[in-house]
Amino acid sequence: QVQLVESGGGLVQAGDSLRLSCVASERTFSSYAMGWFRQAPGKEREFVASINWSGGSTSYADSGKGRFAISRDNTKNTVYLQMNSLKPEDTAVYYCAADSWYSGARASMYRYWGQGTQVTVSS
């Protein structure tokens, strides 16, 4: 069982930056693909970014391209989401997810999920 704990959310103004972190309990973290998703009130959970086990391959939703960057540090069992130039429409609960082989955009394919961290961007 992999436990994931997100942190780094908060209330910021439009144009600001935030870096989210997700720490995994699993000692074989380096073998897991990781993803970031978000869910705004009244909306479905949507893909934000993903990264493969080594960090050599990343993928982004169009909404975050050029503004968001996903990275990982396997020595710290941590995946990051750097978010720049934040917009009010980025307001959501952000979740990290892990899977032993899937690294795509489909939330249903990820086996493990964190509890989420709230990001609120004011205009």
For the chain, give the DSSP string. ---EEEE--EEEETT--EEEEEEE--TTGGG-EEEEEEE-TTS--EEEEEE-TTSS-EEE-TTTTTTEEEEEETTTTEEEEEE-S--GGG-EEEEEEEESS--SS-GGG--EE---EEEEEE-
Provide the token pair at 71.
């990275």
Q: What is the pLDDT of residues 29-76, one digit of tens each?
A: 888 999 999 999 999 999 999 999 998 999 999 999 999 999 999 999
Per the document, the length of the chain is: 123
Q: What is the pLDDT of residue 93?
A: 98
Provide the token pair at 7.
């942190």
Which of the four pLDDT bands, split at 50, 70 and 90, describes residue 26?
A: confident
Which of the four pLDDT bands, split at 50, 70 and 90, describes residue 101?
A: confident
Q: What is the pLDDT of residue 50?
A: 97
Which of the four pLDDT bands, split at 50, 70 and 90, describes residue 114?
A: very high
Q: What is the pLDDT of residue 91?
A: 98
